[in-house]
Structure 1
Amino acid sequence: MDHLARRFLEGDTENRDLYINGILLKDRTSLESLNKKFNDYLFRISLCSYIKKSIVFASIDLRKKESTIREKEGLYLNTLDENFDEEKINTIPDASVNFEEEIYADKEYLNLCEIFTDRNILKAIHNLTERQKQIVYECIVKDKKDHLVAKELGISKQSVNKIKNTALNKLRKQIGGE
């Protein structure tokens, strides 16, 4: 309270004169006037402090409400533009396609003519058994590991490896490779 009284007296020369007349010279009217002015000064300080605190708490509450709304609304069409620090409307749908998955997608009918264009390779593949074709396709074309193919076909990893190596050797011989 002492610092408030000092600021009250330093701020206005009339207040200082009232203080000298009321406290030191014991003038009753100056003392009443000083008391009234000091109470008005305290009221203005309290009112300003109340308004300031109300604004601060209202902004904190508003920030919390906005945060909860943003958490609830997972998909916002508007996005924040970092360059201008304002929202912009994002209306472009994300229809990304993974072409690798499209190419390797399982198909009921396997047409090797779509994969290979060389006639010698197609003839060599045609001479393989259905099981050899299937394992070569899964292991070589789709690049699956032997143990995964074995699990899918219900056979051992060694069987997959043996069938794959037999098929590749057969293909090498027919194509004329080493």
Structure 2
Amino acid sequence: MIQNRLLKNFLNDAEIKELYQSYLEKPTTCKKEMIEKMFQIHGRKIQLLSYFSKTLTFESQKFDKKIRHNNKWNQLILDQNIDERGGKFLDLVADEQCYYDVEFNTPVESSELEMIFEDKQLYDIVSTLTEKQKKILYLLFVKNWTEEELAIELGVSKQAINKVKNYTLRKIKKEYESANRRNLNTN
């Protein structure tokens, strides 16, 4: 019985097996050369298949690496400013709300903001925020919602809520400080 896998695979072909049996019964140089030539062709086919297999593996890994690289560097950036008031691409995306809470669907009225902010300067700054930014701050700080509750309500991640909150607070602080500096310089 033949133990070599390459030879076993070679002899699986009926035509080659018949030629080999014929050679074993009546060995001739012509039959021997024919079998050797067919074996070389068989070996080349295996080498070629191995080469194609390795090439496909390499190319698929290269393609996957390229896709990951493109996804890393060409991310859709929804928090870029699109106007001078700090509006973002994210504000243009329609919200799909999980729950329909009357309190959430109503906009924050300016009278509510006036009651919250005694400082006129701070009120003016907050009034320039987008409705989404106002609503997030209102629900987090006035109504004491958690970021998780708000994220569920808006159908976004908790990190997205945190990011908007932090960005808005930094913006308010920056504008408030620059307004105070302007006031000091004019006085």
The higher-RCO structure (CA 8 Å, 6+ apart) is: 2
Q: Which has the larger radius of gyration?
A: 1
Give TM-score scaled by structure 2 length: 0.42
Give TM-score scaled by structure 1 length: 0.43
More strand by share: 1
